[in-house]
Structure 1
Amino acid sequence: MDPNVFDDVLRTVRDFVRGEVVPAEDEIERTDAIPQRLREAAAGMGLFGFALPEEHGGLGLSMSEDVRLAMELGYAVPAFRSMFGTNNGIAGQVIVKYGTEEQQKRWLPRLAAGEAIASFALTEDGAGSDPSSVKTKAVRDEGGTSRSSEAESGGEYVLSGAKRFITNAPHADVLVVFARTDSNVEAHKGISVFLVETGLDGVRIGPPNAKMGQAGAHTAEVFFDDARVPASALVGGEEGTGFSAAMSSLTRGRLHIAAICVGLAGRIVEESVRFAAQAEQGGEPISRFQLVQALLAESQAEYYAGRSMVLEAAREYDSGADTRLAPSCAKLFCSEMVSRVADRAVQVHGGSGYMRGVPAERFYRDARVFRIYEGTSEIQKLIIAKQLLRQFS
């Protein structure tokens, strides 16, 4: 994107997040929902498709632009970004990178406009950070029993299994589903990916999960009870590409999540500094106490380190110099970093930081999940180590 245009986009989003989303945070926490006015405004700004190609109605941001935007989005409650995160990220990118031309034309313009929501249905009981353990099955039925012309012309796949913790599943129009199509090859080679519409018979979405934090962002279980999908739903029209599609989308997603963590850390530091400068103990601001200053300094230093890491990792991602090691390093460091920053914020606030209704308490709960989803910290460590050791294998 033209740098001047992108600067305008960034400025518009920054003003909107701070002027409209932040004032609505208590409402989002209370209602466990993003207000419709914010959803419509986000769609109008192109946020449902900021990382999708321009030819399909998106903004087509590079990774370097993506992370700068993510830092602005991360300033507010994570649920706001989560509302359109799967369209741009792990779900949408599968269609961008692996979908057929027909699949891209059908779904990407709708995703970019916010007219449809896509969910990334990978995780299941016993298969989370390791996609090769997927047990959900998709069995080819050449004849097909569906009345659709697509099924009659190309056969169907019958899906059976269940997914869990699927972000935006309660609102999804299409699920990017990873299922095993071949049990006779190496585990990671027998996985395929399908675009499954949520209205199909045999597709059932469970109730939203009750979570520790991130009110307004919804996850749920998804069940496939012999759900029949047309062969045209097979992403790329080729079996066996599911593992590669998952890894590719997750890699970009991890760098995006790292940037969200940076944005949230910056907000938490601001809240901590403001409180320290205003709260008094013994007749003077607690900001005068050196141990409080140390907490603030540690958080600021880590925030700055995370920001620098993400920007450099994004630059290397765009150049092709590093599309695997750096994203995992950034995701590991920044997700752990924001949890430490949130913990210090509660300490700076003292008893107030433990009370509901105080941003520090809410962000402490919101930040915890970043160390888990899109690859746990432990998985990131394994990826990093394997990449480092490849030169000696």
Structure 2
Amino acid sequence: MATDNASSQSTRLFTREEVAKHNKKGDLWIIIDSKVFDVSRFANLHPGGLGVLLDEEVAGQDATKIFYSLHRHEVLEKPAYARLQIGHLKDETPEIVSRVIGELSTVPYGEPTWLTKGYYSPYFKDSHRNLQKAFRKFVDEIIYPDAQMCEENGKRFSQSVVDAMAAKNINAMRLGPGKHLKGLTLMDGLVQPEEFDYFHEMVINQEIARIGARGYGDGLLAGMVIGLPPVLNFGSDELKARVVPEVFSGKKFICLAISEAFAGSDVAGLKTTATKTDDGKHWIVNGTKKWITNGVFADYFTVGCRTDGGFTVILVERGEGVETMAIKTSYSSTVGTAYITFDNVKVPVENTLGPENAGLLVMLSNFNHERWVMACSSIRGQRAIVEECFKWANQREVFGRPLISQAVIRHKLAAMIARVESAQAWLENITYQMTKMSYKQQSQKLAGQIAFIKMYATRSGQETARDAVQIFGGRGITRTGMGRFIEHYHRTITFDSLLGGAEDVLGDLGVRQAVKQMPKNARL
């Protein structure tokens, strides 16, 4: 029945009675959401076997419910399967539409309140909304396809993606508001450098987190986000003039190299050393670093070193004596997680970041922003899982009824929603405080709050991951198909809980900061 013209095939109209006649091997049609597909030639290639398609509820019948209990809608959009469509049912229209690139979700709690129709926010202005709309389209068109491909093959992000981000100065915006934005055209002029604030940066962080590819998300220059600020804030003018443009343009990459096999959150316990040459013009760096994000492909390393008088941060350039080796972790190698060896690496003293032996100040000033960025991403990642679970619970049928009809499922969804909504509200409040405080005030007043929100977000994420797997069942532990985003989230959520400071360490930090502010005259 098929013709040579694929476009004319898909416009043909059929009745259900006509389709029902094509119900045997070699002549097999099915209906999915009022669309008619000829799967005669495909039947033997069907991953589930020919028998599934010859089932009396499928062959020649409306298989919409069965299809959506087994496959994601995106399957129908793949060219190989789209070509199987030969027409539509007469007088019927599809109920399920493909998501439009850049479009907001209409699923309840699929978007934060400030983006949900009919709700209001005191924090977000037109410039935030305009940036969100444009950047979501950019993420959907440019970043998302690359993310899904690289997450699977483990290769580094495509250079074309970084180049596209650099062209719109997205790389610069990811470091938040500041002098580094002066004179730049941000997202084709949608936001002026002087008005760019932490809520604009939140938009960038949370939109990238929607890609559902945790390794790629960190691989997409997370090393820059945490490794370049010490250069911006504490590097010499000459160093900044050379390094910053290279990194923002995507021509060179940078990472933060602090953690070691001997010390992680315990920065004071680091063993990598830097000693000065006799003429005082160079540092000689020796030691190792471990679990360094983007380290495999980095050109610059912001390195924490023990020095004679304490702890110093030094920018080391890739060269003689610097060796990097990939570390296999439970998320994709596209992140470039590395073990780094520094063997008598000679570094100019001009590469010292901040005062000598005052490296702890340099790093502590960086940690707040790093943890805040992680909280932004972690919370948005959770919301994507809530949306997945809401969709699945409404389309999956068990015992003849939708999964959502079971009280236990609604209870899990309620807990997931409460966690993500409370975390987002807390995050927005902290972000508002950041817009009103200097960097020094943030360190004094918000270090504990940011530590708490990061701890709360990542613990909530692990609870949400566990609940999501229970909702999806076996699909929730399968790397392909309906539950692939659930499986991925469950497998990688622990990265959120460790990177930037382990949950327990951060919780203790928050309490210790509160204790310092405890009034001496307070009594029960």
What is the TM-score when the length of structure 2 is the normalising length?
A: 0.67
Q: Distance in 1 between matches of 2:299 and 2:461?
A: 32
Greater RCO between the two (CA within 8 Å, min separation 6)?
A: 1
Show the counterpart of 2:329: 211
- Is 2:296 aligned against 1:170? yes
Q: Distance in 1 between matches of 2:259 and 2:363?
A: 11
SS at match of 1:221: strand
Deviations 1:79-130 (A, max 9, x none): 343212222x221111122112112111112222222211001001221012
1:122 to 255, 258, 264: 258
Show the counterpart of 2:268: 132
In the TM superposition, 1:20-99 aligns within 5 A as 20-33=142-155, 34-52=157-175, 53-55=180-182, 61-76=196-211, 77-82=213-218, 83-87=220-224, 89-99=225-235
Q: Distance in 2 between matches of 1:253 and 1:136?
A: 22
Show the counterpart of 1:291: 408
The structure where helix makes up a greater share of residues is 1
Deviations 1:262-320 (A, max 9, x none): 11011111111111111111122111111111111111111101111111111112322
In the TM superposition, 1:134-153 aligns within 5 A as 134-143=270-279
Contact 1:203 1:223 (8 Å CA) reproduced: yes
In the TM superposition, 1:1-20 aligns within 5 A as 4-20=126-142
Distance 1:99 1:217, change over 3 A: same
SS at match of 1:205: strand
- Is 2:485 aligned against 1:348? no
Distance 1:124 1:219, change over 3 A: same
Q: Distance in 2 between matches of 1:9 and 1:109?
A: 23
Q: Distance in 2 between matches of 1:367 and 1:386?
A: 26
* Letter of the structure 1 residue corresponding to residue 278 of structure 2: E
Q: CA deviation at 1:391?
A: 2.7
Identity value in percent: 22
2:240 to 104, 129, 141: 104
Q: Distance in 1 between matches of 2:273 and 2:491?
A: 35
Q: Distance in 2 between matches of 1:86 and 1:58?
A: 23
Contact 1:203 1:222 (8 Å CA) reproduced: yes
SS at match of 1:216: helix
Query: Which has the greater radius of gyration?
Result: 2
Gap regions ≥5 residues in structure 1: 144-153
Q: Distance in 2 between matches of 1:242 and 1:62?
A: 27
Q: Distance in 2 between matches of 1:25 and 1:272?
A: 22
Aligned length: 372
Segment of structure 1 superposing worse, 30-39 or 92-101:
30-39
Task: Provide the aligned C-alpha RMSD in A.
Answer: 2.1
Contact 1:58 1:112 (8 Å CA) reproduced: no
Show the counterpart of 2:420: 303
SS at match of 2:285: strand
Contact 1:329 1:384 (8 Å CA) reproduced: yes
Q: Distance in 1 between matches of 2:300 and 2:185?
A: 18
Q: Distance in 1 between matches of 2:129 and 2:356?
A: 41
* Letter of the structure 2 residue corresponding to residue 204 of structure 1: E
Q: CA deviation at 1:68?
A: 2.8
Deviations 1:124-160 (A, max 9, x none): 12210121111111000133xxxxxxxxxx6111011
What is the TM-score when the length of structure 1 is the normalising length?
A: 0.89
Gap regions ≥5 residues in structure 2: 1-123, 187-192
Show the counterpart of 1:258: 375
In the TM superposition, 1:186-265 aligns within 5 A as 190-198=310-318, 200-206=319-325, 208-236=326-354, 238-265=355-382
